[in-house]
Structure 1
Amino acid sequence: MFNEVSLSLEIGGRQLTLKTGKIARQSNGAVMVQYGDTILLSTVNRSKSAREGIDFFPLTVDYVEKYYAAGKFPGGFNKREARPSTNATLIARLIDRPIRPMFPEGFHYDVHIVNTTLSYDGVCTPDFMGIVGSSVALTVSDIPFMGPVAGVVVGMIDGEFILNPTPEQLKISELDLSVAGSMDAINMVEAGAKEIDEETMLKAIMFAHDNIKKLCQFQMEFQALVGKEKIEFQAPEVMPIVKNFIDQNGATKLKEAVLTTGKKAREEAVDQLEEVLFEEFVNANFGEEEVPAEVVAEFAKYYHDLMKEQVRDAILYNKHRVDGRATTEIRDLAAEVNVLPIVHGSALFTRGETQALVVATLGTKEDEQLIDGLDEEYFKKFYLHYNFPPYSVGETGRMGAPGRRELGHGSLAERALSYVMPSVEDFPYTVRLVSEITESNGSSSQASICGGSLALMHAGVPIKEHVAGIA
């Protein structure tokens, strides 16, 4: 009844096994990943046809924690898994980031990746397994995936690097480094560390990449056993009538527009030029005739693609950024504390056109946050919440529960500051930071770190050292 195929690899002192052909057989690609006694099911499926008229890749990555995997009951009245936990959302983002760039330009099929933790032994964590499982499922499917990619976690205890450390090892580790990449390069790094030096961090990344190469080779061996033939895909070419007109009449003007100083002024210059060019394009090619909708969409897409290309080339090859700064220059900085009269601690940090208003609140043990997941429940004494309202970029929008981006940026800033927080013995208070992004022109998570460090000091929290963040 089943045509199951499996392959194993010894890595990090444990056995990693891939299996396919028995479970989720109707998925385009499905693989069971087992590391120790932790088992993850990764599935991938695509739509039958590409979406028309879109200029983005419709990829969805889900990570699902099943409480039965750890022999636990879900909390709450219904005793059923509901919306993903913050940790599950962060792992989904961790999987998404190295996977998303590995698809051909112009591939507009809907792709849905689902990673489900079926068994969790409390030793082998399923986060990096999700990257490997998603990559394997894509690699053996018929989807044109430019992988494989793989992910690992690196810890460091007593100066020695540890591959894929256990949760217990991470508690005493000086480093918690997640790295993902392909055979040739690294495409995602996320880390927290107890103030280790740059040389050690670089060595840790290279150690990670050495093991990533082994995992990528392992996936290619598995593909040779069970891989499907990839569908033929060619990125659609730009309509010659659109490309030739913009290249001849707008390329030079666009280069001038993108060098306009100031975010709003630059956006207005680029938008105004687009309107003028489009009007000229219509007059030259269509006159009084109605312009087909696909031509209108193609014009807008190629214009904005050319703009991005010009900005990128100016930075890479001319060392010139759109706001006139050199590649090594930081935007103008401004910082102040005590900006709100009643709160326990507050700071306003501004870097160019990015601004974070960060507020610190001190509480008692009753204000600790209960974290419930596949591991044992525990309480957090320090947490940071990040908010990104639409007004921060001068736009309208719906305000609601925090999305994946807000949770991810908040976690990033929280991790950076957590390593300098005082011990419970020295400072028994619960601490909550809230970063309100009031303006944004990039790097708002890092502004949250700078503002958070200031707000903590203003609140009288005896942090071990100042912390700054930069992208």
Structure 2
Amino acid sequence: MNEDKCFEVEIGGRTLVFSTGHLAKQANGAVYARYGDTAVLVTACMEDEPREDVDFFPLIVDYEERFYAAGKIPGGFIKREGKPSESAILSARLVDRSIRSLFPEHMKNDVHVVATILSVDQTNPPDVLAINAASAALAISDIPWDGPVGAVRVGYIDGSLVINPMEEDMQNSTLDLVVAGHKEGITMVEGGAGEVPEEVLVDALELAQQEIRRLVDFQLKMREEVGKPKCEIPAPQEVPEIDECIKTDHYGEIYEAVKIHAKKERSDAIKAIKEKVWEKFKDTYPEQEGYVSNAVTKYVKKAMRSLILDEGLRADGRAMDELRPISCEVSLLPRAHGSAVFTRGETQALVVTTLGMFGEDEQILDGLKLDEPPKRFMLHYNFPPFSVGEVRPMRGPGRREIGHGALAERAVKPLIPDESQFPYIIRVVSDILESNGSSSMASVCGASMSLMDAGVPIAKSVAGIAMGLIKEGDKYAILTDIQGLEDHYGDMDFKVAGTRDGVTALQMDNKAGGITREILVQALDQAKRGRLQILDIMEKAIGRPRGELSQYAPRIYTMNIDPDKIRDVIGPGGKTIRSIVQKTGVKIDIADDGVVHIAASSESAANEAMSIIKSLTKDVEPGEVYIGKVTRLMNFGAFIELLPGKEGLLHISEVSSSHVPKIEDIFKVGDRVLVVVKEIDELGRVNLSRKRIMENPDDYPLGPDMQTFLEEERKRDSSLAPKKRENDKGQTRHPRHKREQ
């Protein structure tokens, strides 16, 4: 490889730069890619010897986010990058799915592709750049690989399709589609949409293919100049005697086994054939048990494809565009906020919705984006081993689970009401109870029903369906609602989710090479017809959101306060807000813009909390009447608390029409007193009067409670009225006159 080689091409109006020969020179292939100020280093390495203990291709793709790329320090106590974020895992899956199908089928050498994110400019996302750089690294390496591939992002902004839109422009896009492919066709599609019509998606895929061809040509020129010769990975040695035996003596049995409808019975029948063939050859070829198993599997694939293309039949007897039997249930779990079970054939998803509160239930994201807002809608997918009748340890979610959950979340998210309409955090969990194909799309259907069962006001139902393709030469068949066998041995897994009005999510993995516009149009049309049938069935179970939330869901009330008053509600060290929570039993979250969310088990508790917050944030105005509390006594008057944290001065001259010798003669600390705000001076000091109300009560709007309290105040005033008394001569003297000496 030559040193310090640099290659450039313009894509989406910006320059894409690949350089090699300077960084990570000990890898089989390494490319430093830059697009704007976003930079990625991708390396590809391969073990020299194949693994003997695997029956699959051992490819590992890692996507390493470095926080310094965005000028950030990781959160938490450790302050270093830990396990990959969900975003990194999804990006790694994009790279993996773009390149995996182009490795030799017989290859068993470990291959490790690492994309390290070195710089992020917040304008050009690094995920698509990583796909292109991974392709270039493999293309110039000596690793056997039938690439290169190119990748672009397609947006739909103001009615126009845009290649590689900038991050800020994507805020206005109703389509976010990542497309990867080679010269002959598309290999991978991943995207979300805001109910986009199918014809727009076809145009987007065709536009993407045009740019992909340019990227492929660019990498081919790069490979010609700096690429290493590809090493040879010898194909496994064939055993013609075994192959001929299976073809001649057992293909008919395999063909009949493939036509068994039930997954387990079909699997058992194929297993029995493998054992029968092995019995014939275990003495002659004692080390070829794996070869026998693989050879039978090869003919299972051949039989399944022949059944579809030559006889127009599917393994379970359905027509090409026929759905499996579907059943829908809601409100299965008595205490959950919302629940649904969606069953399609031998695939079953239990989907549960839980409602939470802002501030404590939202998901905080610590990634490479600056000022990334928390997530208020989450959809999580679990795939326990019992769903496929397996025994294995239960661990945390793997990349597949995270990817399937993200796809279902993307499909449902456009229907989620915004915060102002529904101020809740929403978490949906899909537990797969049975699986025989398309469990992610079952999760979409179950999520839609579960949300409605929880009373979340989603505008309409959303459903998903997985399409398949069997293609050999010019012959092809498009399959609606594929099961596991058709997914495994087919040429395409094409998942489409949406409403009656358009597509909300799309995912495709293709092994068939070129896919024409005709195939895309037919697949999307067939998917739409299937989706509408599913929606009809779902809407019989639940067609609209419930009018009320579950009795076990929190009630959230919203109010707005002046952002400058937030500190008054929180108080020093959080003392004030804690006292409100302790007194009322509610949960309170206050946003920086002054929006207050109050979660309460009863309306009375919420009203009490809101009343306290209103009093804390209310400004005192001249002319307003309060029943205040005496907090301090001075020789010149009393300080009265009108509202929490807000005091005014009641001067001794404003207490009563009668003479008050000392303030202690009429008040003590803690007494309640009826006062009016006389004025607020230029320094913000509040001056009060009691005398004005006592003299002219009709001048003020007094409610019933204040009228009652006014009578008590009059009794207090009567104690101050001048008293007369008689002297020893029977004369009446006023107590303030001096006695005669």
Q: TM-score higher than 0.5 here?
A: yes
AA matched with 1:432: R
Distance across 1 between alignment mates of 2:54 and 2:324: 34
Establish whether residue 402 from structure 1 lines up as the match of residue 393 from structure 2: no
Distance across 2 between alignment mates of 1:306 and 1:190: 32
AA matched with 2:311: N
TM-fit CA distance, 1:161: 1.1
Corresponding position of 2:545: none
Distance across 1 between alignment mates of 2:349 and 2:312: 28
AA matched with 2:363: Q
Establish whether residue 461 from structure 1 lines up as the match of residue 484 from structure 2: no
Number of paired residues? 464
Corresponding position of 1:45: 45
Establish whether residue 15 from structure 1 lines up as the match of residue 8 from structure 2: no
Indicate conservation of the 8 Å contact 1:238/1:302, yes or no. Answer: no
Residue 364 of structure 2, aligned match among 356, 360, 370: 370
AA matched with 1:392: S
Distance across 1 between alignment mates of 2:311 and 2:90: 36
TM-fit CA distance, 1:55: 2.1
Corresponding position of 1:101: 101
TM-fit CA distance, 1:235: 2.2
Corresponding position of 2:203: 203
State the TM-score, normalized to the length of structure 2.
Answer: 0.62
Q: What aligned pairs does 1:118-129 form with structure 2 within 5 A after superposition?
A: 118-129=118-129
SS in 1 for 2:265: helix
TM-fit CA distance, 1:313: 2.8
AA matched with 1:324: G
TM-fit CA distance, 1:223: 0.8
Distance across 2 between alignment mates of 1:120 and 1:333: 46
Distance across 2 between alignment mates of 1:403 and 1:200: 33
Indicate conservation of the 8 Å contact 2:349/2:432, yes or no. Answer: yes
Corresponding position of 2:306: 313
Distance across 1 between alignment mates of 2:192 and 2:331: 29
TM-fit CA distance, 1:171: 1.7
Indicate conservation of the 8 Å contact 1:53/1:297, yes or no. Answer: no
Q: Deviations over 1:299-339 (max 9, x none)?
A: 11111122122213322343321111111111000001000
Indicate conservation of the 8 Å contact 1:245/1:281, yes or no. Answer: no
Establish whether residue 342 from structure 1 lines up as the match of residue 335 from structure 2: yes
Q: Deviations over 1:268-304 (max 9, x none)?
A: 111122222322344xx63xxxx522x1111111111
Distance across 1 between alignment mates of 2:309 and 2:116: 40
Distance across 2 between alignment mates of 1:401 and 1:133: 30
Distance across 2 between alignment mates of 1:74 and 1:158: 37
TM-fit CA distance, 1:167: 2.2
Establish whether residue 434 from structure 1 lines up as the match of residue 434 from structure 2: no
Establish whether residue 139 from structure 1 lines up as the match of residue 134 from structure 2: no
TM-fit CA distance, 1:85: 0.3
Corresponding position of 2:648: none
Distance across 1 between alignment mates of 2:279 and 2:245: 12
Corresponding position of 2:286: 292
Corresponding position of 1:415: 410
Corresponding position of 1:332: 325
TM-fit CA distance, 1:29: 0.3
Corresponding position of 1:84: 84
Distance across 1 between alignment mates of 2:113 and 2:121: 23
Indicate conservation of the 8 Å contact 2:274/2:292, yes or no. Answer: no
State the TM-score, normalized to the length of structure 1.
Answer: 0.96
SS in 1 for 2:64: strand
AA matched with 1:319: G
Q: What aligned pairs does 1:65-80 form with structure 2 within 5 A after superposition?
A: 65-80=65-80
AA matched with 2:439: S
Corresponding position of 2:29: 29
Provide structure 2 residue ranges, at least 5 long, that are not aligned to the other structure: 467-741
Distance across 1 between alignment mates of 2:312 and 2:409: 33
AA matched with 2:393: R
AA matched with 1:37: D
Distance across 2 between alignment mates of 1:316 and 1:410: 33
SS in 2 for 1:45: strand
Corresponding position of 2:382: 387
Q: Deviations over 1:143-175 (max 9, x none)?
A: 111011011110111111111122222221110
Distance across 2 between alignment mates of 1:461 and 1:319: 43
Name the Cα RMSD after superposition: 1.4
Distance across 2 between alignment mates of 1:408 and 1:354: 18
Moved more, 367-376 or 160-169: 160-169
TM-fit CA distance, 1:425: 1.2
Corresponding position of 2:157: 157
Distance across 1 between alignment mates of 2:41 and 2:347: 41
Corresponding position of 1:228: 228
AA matched with 1:244: E
Corresponding position of 1:212: 212
TM-fit CA distance, 1:234: 3.9
Indicate conservation of the 8 Å contact 1:70/1:119, yes or no. Answer: yes
Q: Deviations over 1:209-242 (max 9, x none)?
A: 1111111111011111100111123422421121
SS in 2 for 1:436: strand
Corresponding position of 1:443: 438
SS in 1 for 2:196: coil
Q: Deviations over 1:432-465 (max 9, x none)?
A: 0000000000100000000000000010111122
Distance across 2 between alignment mates of 1:134 and 1:103: 13
Indicate conservation of the 8 Å contact 1:175/1:191, yes or no. Answer: yes
- Percent identity over the alignment is 49
AA matched with 1:216: V
SS in 2 for 1:419: helix
Distance across 1 between alignment mates of 2:364 and 2:262: 44
Distance across 2 between alignment mates of 1:356 and 1:382: 19
Establish whether residue 470 from structure 1 lines up as the match of residue 465 from structure 2: yes
Indicate conservation of the 8 Å contact 2:277/2:292, yes or no. Answer: no
AA matched with 2:18: L
Q: After the TM superposition, which segments of 4 or more aligned residues of structure 1 sit over 6 Å from their partners? A: none
Q: Deviations over 1:183-226 (max 9, x none)?
A: 11001111211101111110011111111111111101111110
TM-fit CA distance, 1:53: 4.9
Indicate conservation of the 8 Å contact 2:43/2:114, yes or no. Answer: yes
Distance across 1 between alignment mates of 2:454 and 2:166: 35
SS in 1 for 2:34: strand
Q: Deviations over 1:76-116 (max 9, x none)?
A: 11100010000000000011002000012201111100000
Corresponding position of 1:356: 349
SS in 1 for 2:422: coil
Establish whether residue 174 from structure 1 lines up as the match of residue 168 from structure 2: no
Q: Deviations over 1:26-52 (max 9, x none)?
A: 111000000001110010010012222
Indicate conservation of the 8 Å contact 1:104/1:235, yes or no. Answer: no
Distance across 1 between alignment mates of 2:394 and 2:436: 20
